[in-house]
Chain A
């Protein structure tokens, strides 16, 4: 076989490889573009559907407190307030719990315990939302109402957050159930991030004469920090969008109250509750507009989270002397 024919064949092979690359590259581009397209279409569709509400109320939709389908006065502030407060409070409960559980699972648990406990925590994520709602109604709400909220009301009732009639159903019940629901996400991500920390980091701290706790707290957790916060943000995203269990527990009243015991509303639960009974085109339109607001809130929370990660990493670079 001559050199000429061999090199000709090699050229042909190269040509085929390049064609494959082109096809694969194009395919990957197409798929990525599809994702972006879906998001864009979704936003367009939400905007299209809410046009009537936007033209009628404009910006005041975001700051109006009243929600009255009969007189067609619609404002989303109570639902925005309920969404942000319920999800942030539930994250405030779930984040420390999840981090500690993850530290236990990744750094301390013997291997025979680690698997079953991880499994049980992840099982929490597979319980249907409506079951959490039922559990909340029949188990959690009575417990919250009588011993817990009543005691808080009697002893700390002078504080605005405990200063209203203990109803059981309301913000507090929704927050507790939400915290349980998002706990597995926070825990699973944090655990995986801690496990991914290279062993050299642990040994570097141990070799300086650190105790186990100091090693975890000063070397392992900081190394995994941005991943852990990412996991918390995933959990927060779940809390913001959670519908069924919240609808069953939060009391569904478009009020803005500083009190944790009083009923409230969230964007998602308001949409779910009223869509089937919407009486006018304007009512439908403002419900879709609530969806658009929910989308924007998710975007803002994500942006803030990224900013937080960035600030933390920069803040520590400068060194806390």
Chain B
């Protein structure tokens, strides 16, 4: 890590930028450096199992840039929340972390994303292998409707040609227990997953993701389609899972980010409509003592 800028340095840059009336872009660069300085406490941690380091990630669709030049570290066994107004590129950013972004027609991405120290965008890296290590839970619960609850959870394992039945049973049960769903479905494993309630379906999707034992779990607004009680359950579950997994969650709901996450990154679009990282730090700090005026405005509900 070469960004050994101290807090004083970045504050100086920011102050300088403000006094000379520099463009917000420069201020963004300054706060980016600041955010990196903030996380420098943990530098090196991201290289160990389950950590991710994102360096200058820029991504978009055709001639549209959705996220621009984002650098941050995802700390292992912690929950990192990505917040920001609509259109700030939160989902695109998240989808770059398991290379799902490129499945959309016309999508492109540049920069480096290190998973346990290896660049997942390096030449010769198979995105299929990356997605087995980085799981994803989507906004809308999307169990496979033609499969039973059991088969939904086993789907990922079967992709790995895992066929030994006793171990499969064991792994399915373990995943469902981890997702806090076992007690509710253990008597109807052969029923369709589509018959469950929305919250149960989302936990089924989490179990499906856990069954392949990923290193990182990405969650794209996992509770936005759920009622408050189901939401609370998912949040409890996330805290529980953070003991063993690294979690990155995109959320629209700032209270949720405040409740569940350890670190928070605030993204906002620039006048060129590309999302940029405004501030990144400990959740407590972002919510109580934001360094950037725009973060404060967003947190306090003045826009977005």
**Residues of A that sit less than 8 Å from B by CB:** 111, 198, 200-211, 214, 218-219, 222-223, 225, 313, 316-321
Contact = CB atoms under 8 A, between A and B. Distances in A.
Contacts of B142: 198, 200-201, 203-204
B47 interface: no
Contacts, number: 84
Given A206-B131, A208-B131, A319-B148, A214 B159 contact: yes
A316 B147 contact: yes
Nearest to B145: A223
Contacts of B205: 204
B298 interface: no
B148 A225 contact: no
Nearest to A200: B142
Nearest to A111: B105
Given A200-B140, A319-B190, A321-B165, A209 B148 contact: no
B78 interface: no
Contacts of A319: 147-148, 150-151, 189-190
A209 B131 contact: yes
Interface string B113-124: 000000000000
A209 B98 CA distance: 10
Interface-central residue, A198, A201, A211, A319, by most chain B CB under 10 Å:
A319
B176 to A, nearest CB: 14
A198 B156 CA distance: 19
Given A206-B131, A214-B159, A317 B191 contact: yes
Contacts of A111: 105
Nearest to A226: B146
Interface of B: 98, 100, 103, 105, 128-129, 131-132, 135-136, 138, 140, 142-148, 150-151, 155-156, 159-160, 165, 189-192, 205, 208-209, 212
A206 B190 contact: no
A208 B159 contact: yes
Given A203-B103, A203-B138, A209 B146 contact: no
4 closest residue pairs by CB, A with B: A209-B132, A208-B156, A207-B136, A200-B142
Given A317-B190, A319-B190, A207 B146 contact: no
B172 to A, nearest CB: 10
A212 to B, nearest CB: 9
Given A204-B138, A206-B103, A317-B192, A225 B146 contact: yes
Contacts of A198: 142
B204 to A, nearest CB: 11
A317 B165 CA distance: 18
Nearest to B104: A199
Interface-central residue, A200, A204, A214, A218, by most chain B CB under 10 Å:
A204
Contacts of A201: 142, 144
A219 B129 CA distance: 18
Nearest to A318: B190
A29 B148 CA distance: 39
Nearest to B135: A207
A208 B132 contact: yes
A218 B140 CA distance: 20
